[in-house]
Each structure stands twice: as C-alpha cells, then as structure tokens.
C-alpha cells in the first residue's frame, strides 16, 4: 500500500483524517506543494537546440506525510504499546480493558499508533506471526514500526521460531567482531521475514559490576573498548539486514545492583568515569549509524542532579545525547511500565516529561489512555510545542523512510519466512557462535 500516494489522494475539503477509511491506510491530507519548476536555461548561441526543461524536485515524503497528520495522529506516532492477541482481529478482553478497543487493529486505529512491540504471547507459528504483522500494517494510517526484544540469549522474544544464537556475553568473549556482525545480520534477516522491522538490540552497556541483576550476560563484556567494537559490528549487521537497531540503555546501565524493572538505580560515576567506562559503546554505535538509542531508567547525579531518571532528563537526552554526542536518530524510552520510571510521577505525566526531555518513541506505557491523552493535552495547551512534537514525528518518519517503510506498507511472506527462519546457513552460524 502506497501510504504517501494514498494520503495525497485525499486532498479536498475535509482536512481532518478519518482512521476508519482503511482502504487508504487510515490517514491523509494535503501535501506540501513542490517548488515550481525553474525556467529552462538559455542554450549557448551556437547550439541551435532548445535546452531540456528543468524538472521540479520531488516533495520530501516525510514532510508530505507530516503535513497530513492531525495533532492526535502525530501524538499517536510516538507510542509503541504491547497489543494482545495472535491476529490483528483477535478479540481480547485485555485489549478492551487496557485500551477500550477489543482487537489489535482497532487499538491501532483508535490511537493512530506509530508502532507496536511483540512478545511471546503474540507468537504461535511463523505463518501466524506473518499474518499478524501484515494485518496490523493494514490497520495503520502510517506504516508501523514493529519491534521486539531479540537480543539473543537471555532476552529472545521470538526464540520459539528463530535460530537460537548465543547471547552477547558469549559472542563478546570470542573477540570476533565478524561473528557479532554476522549474528546480528542473521537475526535481522529472520525478524524482517516475520514483518518485524525494529530490534531493541544491541545492548551497549558495559557490565562493570559482575553482580548486576539486569544486564549481566546481556552485555558484550566488561571492557569498554571491546564492547564498543562488538556494538559497532552488531549495528552494521542489523543494517545489512535492513532492520533498525537500537543501542541500549543510555547513558549506561552496567554498574548497578538494582533492577530498574522494580526499583530506581543510582549510578555514582563521575563525568570522567562515564566518559571512560559507559560512553564508548554509545559513541561507537552513533558513529556506526545506529537508528535508535534507548534511555535507561537510572538516576545519574553527575550528569543531571535533579534526581529524575535519564528517561525524563533533558540534560541527559537532549543535552548529552543529542547535543554533545550529536545523535540525530530516534530516542526511545525503555518500557514506561517499569517501576524505575513510575516512582515519582503518574503515567500521564511520565509520558509528557519524556517528550519534554527529548524522547521520540514512548515504549509500553503502563496506561496508554492516560499517556496518550496527557500528551495530546500538553500539546494543545502549549506545554509541548507543535515544533517539539514535529521534531519527534519527523525523526520517526525518517527512520521509517530509511528502512523502506514509509511510502509502502511492507508485506511479509509466510513462504519466504519459512525459508529464512532456521535456515541451514543460520544454523551453521549458530553452531559456530556456540563454539
């Protein structure tokens, strides 16, 4: 489905987009006019032939899509919740209770969602997941980012279907960056075959504390320079597979004994220690062109003395990550249903503060209705400016464009997925990686 063409086709008296018009992907509006063509240059006097007319430059697809979205639709692009069911039309009491809509497709339309994240409960078989992702894409006004946590090893949401590769610690121990890249590429190829286009991997944390309860074997190791090389290779591998990669958890979750799922860790590193221990893998990921960086629900007093977690910290997300490190991609929050980010503020306020801090993608809010409503209200009341909202939506649309998702909703193939998942080549690579 050509989303941009569909949206442009709706130019007319109605300026409000109606998500129920599923035949055109659920969204649209007036396109930004292209610059007028320049008059043909005068030919040299001796040529005797007219010059070919100069063509008008094509309108930027990102700007065209952005211009066709209402405030509510723009806000919806920021959210990536968990949806319940194994098909887009699965009727679920959980969806109804949480979101006020029974099926994944209806939730996507109701909130104009920009993305969804898959968990094992969404997974039964290869053909089923393909049908699920295709069905959700059909329900979306703008093609979805379909994400999952497929780090391999301990955190592998799609492990029942995909090749079982070892986790980052085992790969890091080999010191083989080629292996890191190959495993990431193979993982990305299998995800893409299922209709998943964003992986919340690789972990860029340096496992400084061996008793860390939340990172541990998920990290490539405890040496910043070695971890940086492995992260670089993994980012490139996901890029080879045309799947978006996410470096996590910024500014570094490696030196804590508190799990941010259930508490709020405090990292006591000085700025100099952060530069030496935590920063190198994130700097390397950015240099390698990583698509997204995920924030951590950790307090880092030497980077921001406010006591707010990094996810809600403008000095960390905008000041440090955006301005100092020069990251221009998507900033994702870690899951907003985790206790580490919900200690101080309500669920609506958490979402608003995350946007104000610099986050673009709001992952798994505990209460989507509250979070979505709070962000819409904050925009309409001027607390979040239209410009700030447009910055985040633009970055998300640019990511979709870069990964081939924006102008035409991707369609996965069950036949193709059956050939790619657990292919002989990938099983051979897994055996090599296992040592």
| Tens digits of residue pLDDT in 252-296 | 988 776 666 767 888 999 999 999 999 999 999 999 999 999 999
Map 174-202 to HEC letters.
HCCHHHHHHHHHHHHHHHHHHCCCEECCC
Write the CA distances from 37 to 4, 54, 124, 164, integer angstroms: 22, 6, 53, 54
Quick one: pLDDT band at residue 51, thresholds 50, 70, 90? very low
Write the CA distances from 375 to 76, 111, 356, 362, integer angstroms: 9, 12, 10, 11
Cβ contact 85:95 at 8 Å: yes
Can you tell me the mean pLDDT for 4-12? 36
Which CATH architecture describes the domain 70-434?
Answer: Alpha-Beta Barrel (3.20)
Question: Pairing between strand 145-148 and 155-156?
Answer: unpaired
Cβ contact 285:235 at 8 Å: yes
DSSP bridge pairs for 156: 150
What does the block give as tokens for 44? 């040299």
What is residue 259's predicted lDDT score, i.e. its pLDDT?
62
Cβ contact 145:115 at 8 Å: yes
Can you tell me the mean pLDDT for 223-252? 98
Cβ contact 422:195 at 8 Å: no
Tokens 């991609």, residue?
329
Cβ contact 404:335 at 8 Å: no
Write the CA distances from 343 to 265, 346, 404, integer angstroms: 11, 8, 38
Contact residues for 90 (Cβ-Cβ < 8 A; gap 6+):
84, 103, 104
Please calculate the CA angle 132-138-142 and round it to the nearest 5 degrees: 120
Tokens 């698509």, residue?
291
Q: What mean pLDDT, rounded, does the chain reach?
A: 87
* Residue 208: closest CA among 221, 192, 190: 221
What is residue 240's predicted lDDT score, i.e. its pLDDT?
98
What is residue 229's predicted lDDT score, i.e. its pLDDT?
98
Q: Which positions are catalytic?
A: 261, 334
Domain boundaries, the chain: 1-33+60-68, 70-434
Kindly tell me if the per-residue pLDDT of 53 is higher than 90. no
Distance CA 413, CA 193 (A): 7
Maximal C-alpha separation, the chain: 81
* Residue 2: closest CA among 60, 59, 61, 89: 61
- pLDDT tens-place string over residues 301-320: 999 999 999 999 999 999 99
Kindly tell me if the per-residue pLDDT of 27 is higher than 50. no
């Amino acid at each position: 489905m050509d989303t941009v063409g569909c949206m442009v086709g709706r130019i007319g008296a109605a300026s409000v987009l109606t998500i129920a018009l599923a035949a055109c992907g659920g969204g649209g509006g007036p396109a930004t006019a292209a610059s007028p063509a320049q008059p043909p240059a005068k030919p040299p006097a001796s040529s005797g032939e007219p010059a070919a007319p100069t063509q008008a430059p094509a309108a930027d697809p990102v700007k065209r899509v952005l211009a066709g979205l209402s405030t509510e639709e723009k806000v919806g692009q920021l959210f990536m919740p968990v949806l319940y069911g194994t098909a887009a039309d699965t009727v679920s009491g959980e969806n109804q209770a949480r979101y006020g809509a029974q099926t994944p497709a209806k939730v996507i339309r109701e909130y104009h969602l920009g993305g969804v994240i898959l968990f094992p409960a969404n997974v039964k078989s290869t053909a089923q997941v393909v049908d699920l992702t295709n069905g959700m894409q059909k329900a979306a006004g703008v093609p979805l980012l379909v994400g999952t946590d497929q780090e391999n090893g301990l955190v592998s949401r799609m492990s029942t279907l995909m090749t079982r590769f070892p986790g980052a610690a085992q790969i890091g121990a080999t010191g083989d960056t080629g292996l890191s890249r190959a495993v990431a590429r193979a993982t990305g190829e299998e995800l893409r075959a299922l209709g998943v286009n964003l992986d919340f991997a690789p972990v860029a944390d340096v496992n400084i504390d061996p008793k860390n309860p939340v990172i541990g074997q998920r990290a490539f190791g405890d040496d910043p320079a070695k971890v940086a090389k492995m992260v670089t290779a993994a980012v490139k591998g996901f890029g080879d597979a045309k799947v978006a990669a996410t470096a996590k958890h910024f500014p570094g979750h490696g030196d804590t004994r508190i799990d941010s799922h259930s508490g709020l860790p405090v990292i006591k590193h000085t700025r100099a220690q952060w530069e030496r221990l935590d920063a190198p893998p994130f700097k390397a990921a950015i240099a390698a062109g990583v698509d997204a960086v995920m924030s951590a629900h950790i307090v880092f007093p030497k980077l921001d003395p406010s006591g707010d977690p990094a996810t809600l910290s403008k000095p960390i997300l905008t000041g440090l990550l955006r301005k100092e490190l020069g990251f221009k991609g998507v900033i994702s929050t870690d899951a907003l249903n985790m206790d580490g980010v919900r200690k101080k503020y309500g669920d609506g306020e958490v979402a608003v503060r995350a946007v104000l801090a610099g986050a673009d993608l709001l992952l798994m809010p505990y209460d989507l209705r509250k979070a979505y409503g709070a962000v819409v209200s904050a925009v309409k009341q001027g607390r979040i400016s239209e410009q700030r909202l447009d910055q985040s939506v633009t970055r998300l649309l640019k990511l979709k464009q870069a990964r081939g998702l924006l102008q035409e909703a991707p369609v996965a193939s069950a036949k193709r997925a059956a050939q790619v998942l657990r292919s002989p080549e990938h099983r051979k690579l897994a055996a090599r990686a296992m040592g």
